[in-house]
Structure 1
Amino acid sequence: MKRRVFTAGMALGALLRPSFLRAATPPALQETPWLADRVKSGALPDVAKRVPQQPSIVTYFPGGQGPGRPGGEVNMLISSARDTRLMTVYSNARLIVYDDKFKLQTDILDSYDVKDGRQFTLKLRAGHRWSDGQPFTTEDFRYFWEDMANNKDLSPSGPSVELLVDGQPPKVEIRDAVTIRYTWDKPNPYFIASQARAAPLWLFRPSHYLKKFHIKYTPADEIAKAARGGQGGNWVQIHRSVDTMYYDSNPDLPTLNPWMQTTAPPAQRFVYDRNPYYYRVDEKGCQLPYFDRVVFTVVAANLVPAKAGLGESDLQCRYLNMRDYTFLRKSSKTSNVEVLLWEQGSGSQLALYPNLNAKDDVWRALNRDIRFRRALSVGIDRDELNEVIYTGLATPSNNTIMSQSTLFKPEYATKWATYDAKLANKLLDQAGLTKRNDEGVRLLSDGRAATIVVEYSSEISEDTDMLSLIADQWKKIGIKLLSKPQSLNNFRMRAFSGDAIMTAYAGVVTAVPSLETSPREFCPTMQGGLQWPRWGMFIESKGKQGEKCDVQDVCVLLDYLREWETATDDATRRKAWDQILQTNMEQVLSIGTLNGIGQPIVVGPKVRNVPKKGYYAWDPGGYIGLYKPDTFWLTS
């Protein structure tokens, strides 16, 4: 029996960094100037009564410019009202979070205890409050579990899949006002990591607010009256419309984020004011966030680079690409913004996916031939791609994890990914493609030319350029590549149906995994896996749709995944991860090109503590969320 106990920034085995290290005695708290008048008038209690008894204390500042000073307003640009969800993503207020080294640590939680990988005891911070001042307690967890996840009207399919082990839900025990326990009969490896995602599996809701819209607690006619604008509809529709924890589009919904929404959509300008009950403070006792206000201004996505370069955004990362970098740097000379270049987190900027479930019998057999897949990979000159398209600023690599991961091994990036036209020709000959037509294109077993139509859905010019260069390179080994752009819906439909022989799309999202991260993306478990969509559909549908995996060298990945899922110690998890990554590397189940592409980040001249170098990805990280924007601050 093994136990692991995690507490506010400290963990056995030094698993957690000191970003939120609990001090023996919390520092003397300072009142925030922006809130001082409200405190003086009695509209707000003193800061000591607003933060938890043991607040999350920030002692580590990734940008190296902290502690900071409170105050000021920053503007960011978004492309639509739906992007209010970016506040949730950027805020990165989670029960458990990744630090900037991708290690898990407590955040909203005071501590958590894991027993045998199947029992999880979560402890909240005593005195923690929602943004409206109401207590945040285990009643908010009970409400979610009993009144939402297990309510057939609100959740017809029952609890989320991460809350089921072999189809069975956990036993949920409310131990006291700050302690809750989840217990399964078998290990649940997905539970902890699900809390740290950019779009987390929320285990709680502001029950005191949502009970006003739940039929168990409030009559239907009162629910209709309480709804925004007295809207019609049944109570389920109304409850769902006001429960926008992720999308952050309901100003009345209490939050735990550093900034709270004050503008109801539709709008062109969304204003977020600081949360007076926020749970983090710095080592000097200053309550975070430092910014008093954040404003999201809606503009057309294609105008964001120009406006950011002209200084109309104080902090901008979304809607910027590497192609904008030169313009942004030039514009910065007059606008005085700083243009940083972070590293995009993706296994490959563009990867090729031979469809192992293609309908065409000849192409399906060839795609399943390891010699063919290896030949295509070594037939790509990634150094040329890098120099021509990204002026040498990217990293040639397989479609695999990145070097920031503790699971990374150099061979994962380089094996079968070094240009060797001679070897590629040899492998293609061994695969039976020995005959050629008058154009030098190899012939398939049925006499057709080996013309691979690579279907893709991308508006990024660099992706189109990359496919064009690969076409030139493959021509030298007797393979003809034709790229065919598609709408995203048509792209997915053709890939999932098997009509597409090969597709091109972004690489793996799980680019910097830890031992606790699920390796499902590297296994045939999801329909969205473009190299094995029908095998993935079979797993997702529990055998009702798709096809069962019938290539043993690939099917073994499911065995390794099961080993990871049932592991109760780190050594077993690491072994399973190594086997999965090794198999993907040797089998060349997707063909990577380049990763580590630069991501421009525009920072206003007064904004401080934004890291000069950073990792930019949806998950893990939440774009800039990984570096805690509540610690960014403004000079006067």
Structure 2
Amino acid sequence: MANSLISVPAEPLVVVPYDSIGSYGGTINFLSNATEAGTSDMLSTRHVNLLRFADDLSTIVPNVAKDYEWNDDFTTLTFMLRKGHKWSNGEPFVARDVEFWYEDMMMNPKIREKPYPYLLVGGEPMTVDVIDDQTVRFNLPSPFPGLTATIAWSYNQFFLPSHFLTQFHPELDSNADANAQALGFEDGWDALAAYYGNSGWTDTPTPMLRNPNLVGGLEYAAYPSLEAYMTIEDTTEGRVYAANPYFHQVDTAGNQLPYIDYQNERYINENEIRLLKLVNGEVDYKSQSVQLESAPQLLDGAESGGYSIQINPGCGAALFSFNVNHPDDAKRAVYGDIRFRQAMSIAMNRDEINDVAYYGLGKVEQFVGFSPAPDFVPEDIKMHMTQYDPAGANALLDEVGLKDVDGDGFRELPNGDALAINIDYATQGIGGVEVELVARYFNEVGVKTTFKEVTPDEYRGSQAANQLDVHVWDKGQPLAIVAGNPETFKPPFGNYFNHTQGLQWAAYIDSNGSEGIEPPQWVYDLSDGIDQFQSYALGTPESNEWGQKIATMLTEQSLLIGTVKAPFPTYHRNALKNFTQFKTTSYEYYRTYPYLATQWW
């Protein structure tokens, strides 16, 4: 499906292939757990943003934008766009599309009740100015040099098709409700939700899945895109994407990318069936929801299956975070006691976890808010409360008032009720072997613990409802990412895709005390500290000083308990060309995005 170069911008982005100029055609096959499961490997392969990290994972380079420029004090960031760049429906992509995304969608409480923290600067919104069709400027309330890193890693694309979505926006078009109702939607807001999902996450269902009864009367069954591929099928069984005929990238011979015509993704929730399909060579690329414990089976089948396995370092580690805002008063008091969290940390035998769950390939370390830990983090903080000390754990639990009253070998809460911890986990976020080991360690110090594997959707449902005892998920943010994203250091201390054990503290702060639970002072100090850290350029003495302070504050609270930093498998079919060696298997750099999967063929 070679596309005419008439459809590319006047100055397209030229991609230098890793190995060879490709040939057009074919379909690339993917597997995901389910729709909106957060396990889709298609997302990053088709993803675009104004900027991206290059494959050295340190240099930030243009992608959708032609170029960008900071002012001297990092308070204005200007983007120059590509003349002639078009959306997948052939309409011009212009600066207004960036302004519309930020001012009219991201900052609108009817779209997003609460803005993403990485789209604020010190908790305050930016403003966006359209200079001309190809020039757009972000105005920041205070210095924030990490904004470019935010754009480079974020799954949230910093633009939306204003030419299409404005007609449904009640604050921008007086006929928005009528326009939406003519198509079968309840009103304009309903139409926006159907198309956009009111989320920066591009995994949300299109009207093909959300409103299939309306699709026949819609001009577009999915909103126009700048991505490498556009949706043509979206069902409960899977989805299919076709190459975007107006995509802005070309190879060094001038051929428009991507080379591959279609992306096909099927949903299979059972881990063993997914593994079987991988071993049989029925999938072209898989990274998400593949844990190291599956590596032996995958490696054994590689030759006969015609695929290769890379064992790449991850950025983070599996973390355990107790729900300090648990709805049960007695549990909340215990989980909120730092002595309890410290006890649970030193109850873990991390060396055994590394040997049994990770074949000795991992590294024992504490989570310090940055991963890998920068040089400014003191060595004692990197290993804080990682020693295996069940006697010390028992002593701390005694201090908390957790005693075995009835003699069954398990501790009761201070009020006499049974203390029972349930660990729900999804294999997207952690391997089951580690969870089983940790549950055993907790039981051995008298804290009754059970565990159960659930789907990612089930996990996130319990997470959003604040029903989890322990949040269990892989998490790690490199220094460059923390420079642009404060979420680890502010309640709820993560997002929908990892840890949110401080939901009620966040509600209290967001509502100025009218909702939620008042947090302790250290939470405010940590939040102020990350704002200070992000106001300085990385590598400056001020940045390093504040980085050390916030790493120490976070770690000493044992809020996010680290275990072992382990590598992860990355699977790809040998027939897939221009596939390079990844430096990391990591969500933090948005998976394949630095490696430009548009060149695969």
Within-5 A mapping of 1:95-106: 95-103=50-58, 104-106=60-62
Structure 1 residue 606, shift from structure 2 partner: 0.8
Structure 1 residue 108, shift from structure 2 partner: 1.0
Structure 1 residue 315, shift from structure 2 partner: 1.9
Q: Identify the residue that residue 136 of structure 2 maps to in structure 1.
A: 180
Q: 2:306 aligns with which of 314, 336, 341?
A: 336
Kindly tell me: are residues 519 and 441 of structure 1, through their superposed partners in 2, closer, same or farther at Cα, counting changes over 3 Å?
farther
Q: Distance in 2 between matches of 1:68 and 1:577?
A: 44
Q: 1:296 aligns with which of 257, 262, 265?
A: 265
The structure whose Rg is larger is 1
Q: 1:560 aligns with which of 494, 507, 529?
A: 529
What is the TM-score when the length of structure 2 is the normalising length? 0.78
8 Å contact kept, 1:355–1:530: no
SS of the residue 1:313 aligns to: coil
Q: Identify the residue that residue 194 of structure 2 maps to in structure 1.
A: 241
Within-5 A mapping of 1:88-237: 88-103=43-58, 104-115=60-71, 116-144=73-101, 148=105, 155=111, 169-187=125-143, 191-200=147-156, 202-211=157-166, 213=168, 223=179, 230-237=183-190
Structure 1 residue 386, shift from structure 2 partner: 1.9
Q: Identify the residue that residue 74 of structure 1 maps to in structure 2.
A: 28
* Unaligned residue ranges in structure 2 (runs of 5+): 207-219
Deviates more, 1:187-196 or 1:135-144: 187-196
Deviates more, 1:308-317 or 1:588-597: 588-597
Q: Identify the residue that residue 623 of structure 1 maps to in structure 2.
A: 591
SS of the residue 2:30 aligns to: strand
Structure 1 residue 161, shift from structure 2 partner: 6.1
Kindly tell me: are residues 339 and 465 of structure 1, through their superposed partners in 2, closer, same or farther at Cα, counting changes over 3 Å?
closer
In structure 2, give the amino acid aligned to 1:183: N
Kindly tell me: are residues 526 and 484 of structure 1, through their superposed partners in 2, closer, same or farther at Cα, counting changes over 3 Å?
same
1:141-170, Cα deviation, whole Å (9 max, x unpaired): 344466656778x64859766555577654
Within-5 A mapping of 1:199-598: 199-200=155-156, 202-211=157-166, 213=168, 223=179, 230-243=183-196, 246=202, 247=204, 249=206, 253-261=223-231, 263-266=232-235, 268=237, 270-299=239-268, 301-302=270-271, 303-346=273-316, 348-353=317-322, 355=324, 364=333, 368-370=337-339, 372-400=340-368, 404=372, 406=374, 409=377, 411-421=380-390, 424=393, 431=399, 453-460=420-427, 465-470=433-438, 472-473=440-441, 478-483=445-450, 485=452, 488=459, 491-492=462-463, 503-510=470-477, 513-514=480-481, 516-525=483-492, 532-550=502-520, 552-553=521-522, 555-567=524-536, 571=540, 572-598=542-568
SS of the residue 1:260 aligns to: strand
Q: Distance in 2 between matches of 1:82 and 1:427?
A: 41
Kindly tell me: are residues 268 and 366 of structure 1, through their superposed partners in 2, closer, same or farther at Cα, counting changes over 3 Å?
closer
Structure 1 residue 384, shift from structure 2 partner: 0.9
What is the TM-score when the length of structure 1 is the normalising length? 0.75
Q: Distance in 2 between matches of 1:113 and 1:433?
A: 57
Structure 1 residue 75, shift from structure 2 partner: 1.9
Q: Distance in 2 between matches of 1:442 and 1:266?
A: 47
Kindly tell me: are residues 511 and 360 of structure 1, through their superposed partners in 2, closer, same or farther at Cα, counting changes over 3 Å?
farther
Q: Distance in 1 between matches of 2:108 and 2:392?
A: 59
Kindly tell me: are residues 432 and 293 of structure 1, through their superposed partners in 2, closer, same or farther at Cα, counting changes over 3 Å?
closer
Kindly tell me: are residues 56 and 520 of structure 1, through their superposed partners in 2, closer, same or farther at Cα, counting changes over 3 Å?
same
In structure 1, give the amino acid aligned to 2:344: L
Q: Distance in 1 between matches of 2:479 and 2:122?
A: 27
SS of the residue 1:35 aligns to: coil
Kindly tell me: are residues 278 and 363 of structure 1, through their superposed partners in 2, closer, same or farther at Cα, counting changes over 3 Å?
closer
SS of the residue 1:122 aligns to: strand
1:466-504, Cα deviation, whole Å (9 max, x unpaired): 45534554566x5444235596478548856xxx7x525
Structure 1 residue 566, shift from structure 2 partner: 4.5
Structure 1 residue 632, shift from structure 2 partner: 2.1
SS of the residue 2:425 aligns to: coil
Kindly tell me: are residues 399 and 298 of structure 1, through their superposed partners in 2, closer, same or farther at Cα, counting changes over 3 Å?
same
Kindly tell me: are residues 57 and 408 of structure 1, through their superposed partners in 2, closer, same or farther at Cα, counting changes over 3 Å?
farther
1:249-294, Cα deviation, whole Å (9 max, x unpaired): 4556332111223x24337564333223322233443332232332
1:47-92, Cα deviation, whole Å (9 max, x unpaired): 2x43333322334x6xx53555544332223454557976443323
Kindly tell me: are residues 217 and 580 of structure 1, through their superposed partners in 2, closer, same or farther at Cα, counting changes over 3 Å?
closer
Kindly tell me: are residues 425 and 173 of structure 1, through their superposed partners in 2, closer, same or farther at Cα, counting changes over 3 Å?
closer
Deviates more, 1:112-121 or 1:434-443: 434-443
SS of the residue 1:457 aligns to: strand
In structure 2, give the amino acid aligned to 1:382: R
1:434-461, Cα deviation, whole Å (9 max, x unpaired): 9988979697896969x85332212549
Aligned-residue Cα RMSD (Å) equals 4.3
Q: Distance in 2 between matches of 1:214 and 1:369?
A: 47
Kindly tell me: are residues 359 and 267 of structure 1, through their superposed partners in 2, closer, same or farther at Cα, counting changes over 3 Å?
closer
1:570-603, Cα deviation, whole Å (9 max, x unpaired): 533333222111222333233222232423x332
Kindly tell me: are residues 494 and 448 of structure 1, through their superposed partners in 2, closer, same or farther at Cα, counting changes over 3 Å?
farther
How many residue pairs are counted as aligned between the two chains?
A: 569
1:212-254, Cα deviation, whole Å (9 max, x unpaired): 55676695698369x7xx4353344334434478248455633
Kindly tell me: are residues 453 and 466 of structure 1, through their superposed partners in 2, closer, same or farther at Cα, counting changes over 3 Å?
farther
8 Å contact kept, 2:345–2:561: yes
Deviates more, 1:335-344 or 1:214-223: 214-223
Kindly tell me: are residues 395 and 611 of structure 1, through their superposed partners in 2, closer, same or farther at Cα, counting changes over 3 Å?
farther
* Unaligned residue ranges in structure 1 (runs of 5+): 1-33, 37-43
Q: Distance in 1 between matches of 2:111 and 2:177?
A: 22
1:395-444, Cα deviation, whole Å (9 max, x unpaired): 32223456546568565542321324565567668x48799889796978
Q: Distance in 2 between matches of 1:169 and 1:322?
A: 41
8 Å contact kept, 1:165–1:186: yes
Kindly tell me: are residues 538 and 568 of structure 1, through their superposed partners in 2, closer, same or farther at Cα, counting changes over 3 Å?
farther
SS of the residue 1:285 aligns to: coil
Kindly tell me: are residues 379 and 111 of structure 1, through their superposed partners in 2, closer, same or farther at Cα, counting changes over 3 Å?
same
In structure 2, give the amino acid aligned to 1:335: G
Q: Distance in 2 between matches of 1:240 and 1:470?
A: 41
Q: Distance in 2 between matches of 1:513 and 1:536?
A: 24
Q: Distance in 2 between matches of 1:366 and 1:214?
A: 44
Q: Distance in 1 between matches of 2:267 and 2:401?
A: 54
In structure 2, give the amino acid aligned to 1:508: K
Within-5 A mapping of 1:27-106: 34-35=1-2, 44=4, 47=5, 49-59=6-16, 65-66=19-20, 68-80=22-34, 82=36, 87-103=42-58, 104-106=60-62
8 Å contact kept, 2:52–2:62: yes
In structure 2, give the amino acid aligned to 1:231: G
Q: Distance in 2 between matches of 1:156 and 1:352?
A: 26
1:378-404, Cα deviation, whole Å (9 max, x unpaired): 332111122223322333222345654
8 Å contact kept, 2:306–2:574: yes
